[in-house]
Structure 1
């Protein structure tokens, strides 16, 4: 099972990175009408939530700054950002590093039962699959936002 999960992380994260690396800084920071967030936020959100699901951030993982919860966690938005928000390039580097850490998770870990079910997931492997679905969903949002921004010629 772990080989399949690792392959899916490589594929999903690879597609995510390919898409976000092709987006300009200006485009990444536009919030089109009808959307709650920016592409920049989506990139940080995927990084932060994956860290929560896969590594227990912020209590069990110190690989990301704790402030990411306030900047990119569920229910957050760029309108509430204070100073010191990481650049997209930094988030992309952290996404790459995170993928390498994910690939180091021992195979037997994916069969472990969670202390209590989370979002309907009962094992760590199921939670990993949910994390992949979450990332793919946000990639779809990023692609839609990019298309809208570019077609409308919106500037930040």
Structure 2
């Protein structure tokens, strides 16, 4: 029986033709990514064979290719532009001046409203800046209220 085929008595079986073996098979023989989603063009048997021969996902993307793709998808900058920014900043965070730990890289700081890329930051500075941008008014109010300590805990004068 075809991998993933579920025959349910009494229900009509919709036939679909596999793009690889060209056999007409029940729709249940084709992988789906969830309810209401289109089914794959290749039947389960052909897909399993394809994945066995070509690896689970086919040709693997190298780490460098993945970085280049992600930089473009997220920030619309190329890998060459990213490397030029790293070189211009001497490989260090634009805020604290520290270089990232071994195996880590600088994060691309950008405006979430306009998408404009600003500079490269270490993970810590990037996260802190994001929190500050989203909560700077509340933080200023907090410091105005509690900057000298909690009024409930301060000795009465």
> What range describes the TM-score normalised by the shorter chain of this pair?
under 0.3
Q: Could you tell me the TM-score, scaled by structure 2's length?
A: 0.21
**Whose radius of gyration is greater, 1 or 2?**
2
Q: Could you tell me the TM-score, scaled by structure 1's length?
A: 0.21
Higher relative contact order (CA 8 A, sep 6+): 1
The structure whose residues are more often helix, as a share, is 1
The structure whose residues are more often strand, as a share, is 2
